[in-house]
Amino acid sequence: MSTKPYYAGQDVDAPCGRCGGETRHQILTVTNGTPEQLICGNCRSVHKFRAPKPPPLARTPRAAAAPRPSGPRPGSLPAQFQTALAQEQGGALARPYRVTEHWAEGAWMDHPAFGLGRVQRRAGKKVDVLFSAGLKTLVSA
Protein backbone atom coordinates (compact mmCIF):
# COMPACT_ATOMS: atom_id res chain seq x y z
CA MET A 1 0.00 0.00 0.00
CA SER A 2 1.55 3.28 -1.06
CA THR A 3 1.04 6.45 0.91
CA LYS A 4 0.49 9.76 -0.76
CA PRO A 5 3.52 12.09 -0.37
CA TYR A 6 2.58 15.28 1.48
CA TYR A 7 4.58 18.54 1.70
CA ALA A 8 4.13 21.89 3.42
CA GLY A 9 2.10 24.33 1.35
CA GLN A 10 0.19 21.56 -0.47
CA ASP A 11 -3.56 21.99 -0.93
CA VAL A 12 -5.76 19.14 0.34
CA ASP A 13 -9.47 18.61 0.85
CA ALA A 14 -10.19 17.91 4.52
CA PRO A 15 -13.09 18.22 6.98
CA CYS A 16 -13.26 21.49 8.87
CA GLY A 17 -15.02 21.52 12.23
CA ARG A 18 -15.65 25.25 12.15
CA CYS A 19 -17.01 25.36 8.59
CA GLY A 20 -18.99 22.16 9.07
CA GLY A 21 -17.92 20.29 5.97
CA GLU A 22 -15.08 19.30 3.72
CA THR A 23 -13.20 22.32 2.42
CA ARG A 24 -9.89 23.16 0.77
CA HIS A 25 -7.01 23.35 3.29
CA GLN A 26 -3.32 24.10 3.06
CA ILE A 27 -0.76 21.97 4.90
CA LEU A 28 1.27 23.99 7.44
CA THR A 29 3.51 21.29 8.95
CA VAL A 30 4.52 17.77 7.91
CA THR A 31 6.18 15.14 10.17
CA ASN A 32 7.53 11.89 8.68
CA GLY A 33 5.52 12.47 5.52
CA THR A 34 2.23 12.92 7.39
CA PRO A 35 0.53 16.34 7.66
CA GLU A 36 0.16 17.60 11.22
CA GLN A 37 -1.43 21.03 10.98
CA LEU A 38 -3.72 22.46 8.34
CA ILE A 39 -5.18 25.89 7.73
CA CYS A 40 -8.67 26.17 6.30
CA GLY A 41 -8.95 28.16 3.08
CA ASN A 42 -12.47 29.29 4.06
CA CYS A 43 -12.38 30.32 7.71
CA ARG A 44 -8.58 30.39 8.19
CA SER A 45 -8.76 28.20 11.33
CA VAL A 46 -5.74 26.03 12.14
CA HIS A 47 -6.36 22.43 13.23
CA LYS A 48 -4.92 18.92 13.18
CA PHE A 49 -4.94 16.77 10.09
CA ARG A 50 -7.36 13.85 10.20
CA ALA A 51 -6.64 11.04 7.79
CA PRO A 52 -9.63 10.15 5.59
CA LYS A 53 -11.68 7.22 6.83
CA PRO A 54 -11.29 4.04 4.81
CA PRO A 55 -14.35 3.08 2.77
CA PRO A 56 -16.70 0.69 4.60
CA LEU A 57 -16.29 -2.98 3.87
CA ALA A 58 -18.86 -4.56 1.60
CA ARG A 59 -21.44 -6.40 3.65
CA THR A 60 -22.52 -9.83 2.65
CA PRO A 61 -26.23 -10.43 3.11
CA ARG A 62 -27.11 -12.84 5.87
CA ALA A 63 -29.07 -15.95 5.17
CA ALA A 64 -32.65 -15.75 6.31
CA ALA A 65 -33.17 -17.30 9.72
CA ALA A 66 -35.45 -20.28 10.03
CA PRO A 67 -38.90 -19.23 11.20
CA ARG A 68 -39.42 -19.68 14.91
CA PRO A 69 -42.31 -21.77 16.08
CA SER A 70 -45.09 -19.70 17.56
CA GLY A 71 -46.05 -19.98 21.19
CA PRO A 72 -43.90 -20.40 24.26
CA ARG A 73 -40.59 -22.28 24.12
CA PRO A 74 -40.64 -25.79 25.52
CA GLY A 75 -39.30 -25.85 29.06
CA SER A 76 -40.05 -22.19 29.76
CA LEU A 77 -42.14 -21.29 32.80
CA PRO A 78 -45.09 -19.95 30.77
CA ALA A 79 -45.06 -23.20 28.74
CA GLN A 80 -45.08 -25.25 31.95
CA PHE A 81 -47.93 -23.13 33.27
CA GLN A 82 -49.95 -23.56 30.08
CA THR A 83 -49.36 -27.34 30.17
CA ALA A 84 -50.46 -27.60 33.81
CA LEU A 85 -53.45 -25.40 33.10
CA ALA A 86 -54.59 -27.59 30.20
CA GLN A 87 -54.02 -30.85 32.04
CA GLU A 88 -56.02 -29.81 35.08
CA GLN A 89 -59.01 -28.24 33.37
CA GLY A 90 -57.91 -24.64 33.72
CA GLY A 91 -57.58 -24.66 37.49
CA ALA A 92 -61.31 -25.07 38.02
CA LEU A 93 -60.55 -25.91 41.66
CA ALA A 94 -58.68 -22.62 42.27
CA ARG A 95 -59.31 -20.92 45.61
CA PRO A 96 -58.75 -17.21 46.31
CA TYR A 97 -55.29 -16.52 47.78
CA ARG A 98 -55.15 -15.75 51.50
CA VAL A 99 -52.02 -15.54 53.65
CA THR A 100 -53.84 -17.35 56.47
CA GLU A 101 -54.61 -20.41 54.34
CA HIS A 102 -52.38 -23.51 54.20
CA TRP A 103 -51.32 -24.14 50.57
CA ALA A 104 -50.28 -27.66 49.59
CA GLU A 105 -48.20 -28.61 46.55
CA GLY A 106 -50.36 -28.98 43.45
CA ALA A 107 -53.12 -26.67 44.74
CA TRP A 108 -54.53 -24.01 42.42
CA MET A 109 -54.96 -20.43 43.65
CA ASP A 110 -56.45 -17.25 42.28
CA HIS A 111 -54.17 -14.37 43.27
CA PRO A 112 -55.52 -10.78 43.03
CA ALA A 113 -52.38 -9.46 41.31
CA PHE A 114 -50.85 -12.48 39.50
CA GLY A 115 -54.04 -14.30 38.52
CA LEU A 116 -54.36 -18.07 38.29
CA GLY A 117 -51.40 -20.07 39.66
CA ARG A 118 -50.40 -23.56 40.82
CA VAL A 119 -48.32 -24.30 43.93
CA GLN A 120 -45.09 -25.99 42.83
CA ARG A 121 -43.19 -26.35 46.11
CA ARG A 122 -43.74 -25.75 49.80
CA ALA A 123 -40.86 -24.67 52.07
CA GLY A 124 -41.85 -23.84 55.64
CA LYS A 125 -44.24 -20.91 55.59
CA LYS A 126 -43.53 -20.08 51.95
CA VAL A 127 -44.77 -21.58 48.70
CA ASP A 128 -43.43 -21.26 45.16
CA VAL A 129 -46.36 -20.66 42.82
CA LEU A 130 -46.19 -20.87 39.02
CA PHE A 131 -48.20 -18.08 37.39
CA SER A 132 -48.37 -17.21 33.71
CA ALA A 133 -45.93 -14.35 34.48
CA GLY A 134 -43.43 -16.73 36.10
CA LEU A 135 -42.55 -18.33 39.43
CA LYS A 136 -43.41 -16.27 42.53
CA THR A 137 -42.74 -16.99 46.22
CA LEU A 138 -45.71 -16.29 48.49
CA VAL A 139 -46.46 -16.58 52.21
CA SER A 140 -48.60 -19.49 53.42
CA ALA A 141 -49.90 -20.53 56.84
Is 54 a member of any domain? Answer: no
For the residues of 35-60, what is the DSSP string, one character each? EEEEEETTT--EEE--PPPPPPPPPP
**Is residue 60 in some structural domain?**
no
pLDDT tens-digit series, residues 77-125? 667 777 777 666 656 778 899 999 999 998 888 899 988 888 889 999 9
Q: How many domains does the chain have?
A: 2
Which residues touch 15 (CB under 8 Å, ≥6 apart)? 21, 22, 23, 50
Taking 80 as the threshold, does the pLDDT of residue 74 lie above it?
A: no
44 and 87 within one domain = no
Instruction: Answer yes or no: is 70 within a domain.
Output: no
Instruction: Give the pLDDT of residue 64.
Output: 77
Question: Does residue 55 fall inside a structural domain?
Answer: no
Phi, psi of 125 (to 5 degrees): -100, 20
Q: Is 59 contained in some domain?
A: no
Show the domain range for 37.
11-48
Distance CA 54, CA 73 (A): 44
Q: Which amino acid is at 47?
A: H
* 34 and 85 both lie in a single domain: no
- Same domain? 87 vs 134: yes
CA 93/CA 52 separation, integer angstroms: 72
